[in-house]
Structure 1
Amino acid sequence: MSETESAKIAARLDRLPSSRTLWKIIVLLSLGGLFEFYDLFFTGYVAPGMAQSGLFTPASLGVFAGLAGIKVAGFGTFVFSTFAGLWVGVVLFGQLADRYGRRPVFTGSLVWYALSTVIMAFQHTGEMLNLWRLIAGIGFGVQLVTIDAYISELTPAALRGRAFSINQFVSFCIVPVVALLAWLLVPVTPLGLDGWRWVVLIGSAGAVVAWFLVQQVPESPRWLALRGRVQEADAITAGIERRVEAETGASLPAPHVEPVQDDGEGRFAEIFSQRYWRRTLMLSVFNMAQVIGFYGFAAWVPTLLIARGINVTHSLEYSFIIAIANPFGPLLGSFFADLLERKTQIVLGLIVMGVSMLAFARTNAPAMLIVLGVVFTLAANIMSYAYHNYQAELYPTRIRARAVGFVYSWSRIAAAFAGLGIGYFLHLGGALAVASFIAIAMVVGIVAIGVFGPSTKGVALEHISH
């Protein structure tokens, strides 16, 4: 494979202006990932309904009841299974996108978790519910890794920040939908079927629709060129260029070919090489820290509201109101996503998350709880799109998916066990103890990114990775 040809493909993509063609690709990819977010976020909202179905008694949990030995019980086993599946997906199968391509792995994982979740919806024991939740988690774990690599490689350097913010704006639009469906369906049994099962099935049906939409998304030309499939990469790039020129009515500028190329066969061991081990360590620590705040609030918000004296019905209602804020964080970020350094956006997001969580734990006024929940959610989702972009930028195309999978896997492990921490501190000292736990984790994330993270704003992927 000619390194010069690979560098030319990258340069041609990076000189593309903002256009309907580019944003259509980003939106279609985002729609493909929409129901992955649906699956992730229904976890906390369907918990009361699952518990009422008797799925979390020791007898129903079967082999999963053994998790009581590490203090995982009841609904905690479902959370644990979710993130254990995600961990397996990103660690063991995240590398598939580097080997077989972004597109087939992206669409295949969509089918995987949609089918697995349908099967899960009809389980009547906690043991089988958790087993199929773990299997489904593998599918959307793979997709989480693949979509970050996909977007970073298809988007010009000057637009990467906004591309990730729009991606997460679209994806997070589903969160208030999940909360609303849970609020309306979990307390009832339409057609004799538990309401929580309807919530799960609706998400799977939507994922099937998303699968048809993402068939319009091309393979990553950067990945194709790296694998020696230069003619295919050229054809896809040329097609995008023609559409962009037709939309803008102007000729594209000459591509500026960078002297540094991304070449060679990727190996997993390379993420620990002299060039990348510091980034790998920094991102691994950060991922463990940030997820304690992100999912510590998102997955537990109804329970945390109950701990502040709100009853179950109002807890779901307030959770829905807070959930409406989810897409507005990335939308707000789209105005400065390519103006501020990615690491600056991450650090500011973590600071606001820590402060607002501490304030949330010290107030009892319903209106103030909602306001602080909204502020936390906005900050968390600004931080989220920024770090998804950031970690995908720090590695070359040949190892991007497996590297992102490895560092991201630490957030899956941390999330699985953070549930234990949240439950423990909630029992020990209520919402204030949980808030203190989250705030400390945010400080760790701030130090990791703020002190050790490199700058990436507006820099070509091929330069960042060197």
Structure 2
Amino acid sequence: MSAHAADGTITTDIPARLDRLPWSRWHWTIVIGLGTVWILDGLEVTVVGNIAGRLSEPGSGLAITSGQITGIAAALYVAGACVGALFWGRLTDTFGRRKLFMITLAVYLGATALTSISWDAWWFFLFRFLTGFGIGGEYAAINSAIDELIPAEYRGRVDLMINGSFWLGAVGGSLLSIVALDTGLLPKDVGWRLTFALGAVLALVILLVRRHVPESPRWLLIHGRDREAEEIVAGIERRVEAEKGEPLPAPQGSLEIHQRGSVTFLEIARTVFGRYRRRAVLGFSLFIGQAFLYNAITFGFGAILTAFYDVPADRTGYYFAVIAVGNFCGPLLLGKLFDTAGRRVMISGTYLTSGLLLFATAWLFDRGALDAWTLTACWCAVLFFASAGASSAYLTVSEIFPMETRAMSIAFFYALGTAAGGISGPLLFADLTETGRVADTVLAFSIGAALMCAAGLTAAALAVRAERRSLEDIARPLNAVAARAKGRLPGATAGGV
């Protein structure tokens, strides 16, 4: 229940009521409606890489070169994602999670559909930018909504599973490309268009499911819409009680807040880089580490297999599918441990383990002890842990900053990691892995491994013990009134580290 005070504050137990809910079918609706967009992102990225050769062929219906697709189009997609994250992230904190996750998916849907009917290279480039623009906004809006709707006990594993589902899309994109680009089944100028059209159809299905996902009650509380928040939470409770056949346990704790509109950029900056500067260092470290490790492997894996092991270029997709499966299995199998063993142990452990395994891979590669499949197996082991670590980076920045800055914080660190991966990564690693010299590839592996280990050590020192804790406990809302003995969530703190 919520209660208004005469001075314009509100005392509410809504966060505690959301966190004490048992897992239910309603939560699966949230996961399906919001989380499946990562599959679309993986599908997009993989499809474009796999169709580059076909699009550049005469008769494809588009006058474009393979270099333009992997260079200009890829860079514009990354730029769109970075700009979109920052643009939509601010709007998500201002106008709400639900409104923005509907708009950003609609932008993605429209841009992908238009990509399928591109009639000139520059239109293709524009639509790739707009596709990234929509996807970037999705990361801020979706991670905010998921964390604010999923109970504290399950938040870690759910976040990791959803972020890791990117790799399901990557596997699907690899397999879809094999079928769609088979000229025995489809003409050259049709197959690649159908791959993008399918992405638009999947987005439309997700959009229809999202209609049933409510606005975040936590966001509504902050913005003076506590009656709507109460109605939403009461409705969820009725559904869960009907499903479980028993009354819900009583919520533990309440929160007192001032209600007002959105915060300014200056307040966001002071919060993230002033009050929570150690957490900002943690976010920087995690995103930079995972970005460079992934680029050390993925930007050159095809060239390495072709140059050193004579794997035909049209067969490297099968090796990539194996790597993608390993990437998805990491968050899926390790996710629960982030809620039980704890964030600090698991974040630092996954980062350090993946970094050390990549150092070992570099050593074996330098000695000539690997073939194409054993190298792929080593990559798979590295990325099994790295994927869980990378997913935990998104989880971390979405839960360690106050409610009013959540979407913008996610957007900022996402844009940072995406820019590092999409700009610095190719410039550094593509040249190293394509020279055909063993020493250069070993250096690429070692750089990625070193940065991942450095991020792991940073996490060991700075990671926040956020497991099974309310978001308001981890980072008290900026609008929260100073905690009183009987008017606070258990363990709530004012901020800092």
TM-score by length of 2: 0.83
Q: In 2 relative to 1, CA 293–371 (structure 1 residues): closer, same or farther, beyond 3 Å?
A: same
Residue 218 of structure 1 is matched in structure 2 by: 214
After superposition, what is the alpha-carbon deviation per residue over 1:125-175, rounded to whole angstroms, capped at 9, x for unaligned? 544322221121111000011111111100121111122133235553322
RMSD across aligned positions (CA): 2.8
Question: Conserved in 2, the CA contact under 8 Å of 1:32 and 1:214?
Answer: no
2:269 corresponds to 1:272:
yes
Judged with a 3 Å threshold, the aligned counterparts in structure 2 of structure 1 residues 280 and 332 are, in CA distance, closer, same or farther, namely same
Report the residue type matching 2:179 in the other structure. L
Deviations 1:20-53 (A, max 9, x none): 2223322322124431332234343333334446
Distance 1:291 1:456 in 2: 23
Out of 440, 459, 463, the residue aligned to residue 469 of structure 2 is: 459
* Pair 54,297 (structure 1): closer, same or farther in 2 beyond 3 Å: farther
Moved more, 388-397 or 40-49: 40-49
User: Structure 1 334/4 Cα, relative in aligned 2: closer, same or farther at 3 Å?
Assistant: farther
Partner of 1:413: 419
Do the aligned partners of 1:322 and 1:377 also contact (CA within 8 Å) in 2? yes
Change (3 A) 1:236 1:83: same
Q: Structure 1: how far apart are the matches of 2:177 and 2:152?
A: 39
Shift of the 262–108 alpha-carbon distance from structure 1 to 2, 3 Å rule, reads same
Name the structure 1 match of 2:291. 291
How has the CA–CA distance of structure 1 residues 293 and 79 changed in structure 2, closer, same or farther, with 3 Å as cutoff? Answer: farther
Paired position in structure 1 for 2:400:
394
Structure 2 distance, partners of 1:367, 1:121, is: 35
Shift of 1:297: 3.2
Q: Which residue is 2:43 aligned to? A: 38
Whether the 8 Å contact between 1:245 and 1:252 is mirrored in structure 2 is yes
1:338-349 maps to which residues of 2 (within 5 A)?
A: 338-349=339-350
Are 2:343 and 1:336 aligned? no
| Match runs of 1:108-187 below 5 Å | 108-123=103-118, 125-168=120-163, 170-186=165-181
Query: Within the alignment, does 1:23 sit opposite 2:50 as a pair?
Result: no
One-letter code of the match for 2:354?
A: M
Structure 2 Cα separation of the partners of residues 20 and 243 of structure 1: 9
Please say if residues 19 and 244 of structure 1, whose CA atoms lie closer than 8 Å, have aligned partners that are also in contact.
yes
Kept in 2, the 8 Å contact 1:262–1:398? The answer is no
Task: Structure 2: give runs of 5+ residues left out of the alignment.
Answer: 476-494
CA contact (8 A) 1:165 1:331 kept: yes
Number of residues of Structure 1 aligned to a counterpart in Structure 2:
455
Q: Per-residue displacement from partner, 1:273-295 (whole Å, max 9, x unpaired)?
A: 23123322431343223212235
**Aligned counterpart for 2:87 among listed residues 92, 104, 113:** 92
Offset from partner CA, 1:331-367 (integer Å, 9 cap, x none) = 2023323112223322222223333434555154232
TM-score under structure 1 length normalisation: 0.88
Conserved? CA contact 2:84–2:134, under 8 Å: yes
The offset of 1:400, in angstroms, is: 0.6
Give yes or no for contact 1:29–1:214 (8 Å, CA) kept in 2. yes
C-alpha spacing 1:212/1:27, structure 2 compared with 1 (3 Å): same
State the distance in 2 between where 1:54 and 1:75 align: 19
Structure 2 counterpart SS, 1:216: coil
- Equivalent AA in structure 1 for residue 129 of structure 2: L
CA distances 1:435-463 after superposition (whole Å, capped 9, x unpaired) = 12311321332243232332211221112
Give yes or no for contact 1:394–1:464 (8 Å, CA) kept in 2. yes
Larger Rg: 2
Q: What one-letter code is carried by the residue in structure 2 that aligns with 1:147?
A: I
Distance in 2 separating the partners of 1:364 and 1:48: 28
Range with greater deviation from structure 2 (109-118 or 38-47)? 38-47
Contact (CA 8 Å) 1:82, 1:133: kept in 2 or not? Answer: yes
The 8 Å contact of residues 183 and 317 in structure 1, kept in 2 or not, is answered as no
1:433 is aligned to 443
Residue type at the aligned position of 1:422: F
Report what 2:72 is aligned to.
77
1:199 aligns with 2:199: no
The sequence identity of aligned pairs, in percent, is: 27
- CA distance, structure 2, for counterparts of residue 20 and residue 383 of structure 1: 28
- Decide whether the 8 Å contact of 1:165 with 1:386 is kept in 2: yes
Contact 1:27/1:166 (<8 A) preserved: no
Contact 1:186 1:196 in 2 (8 A): yes
Between the aligned partners of 1:262 and 1:437, the Cα distance in structure 2 is 47
Q: Which amino acid aligns with 2:329?
A: F
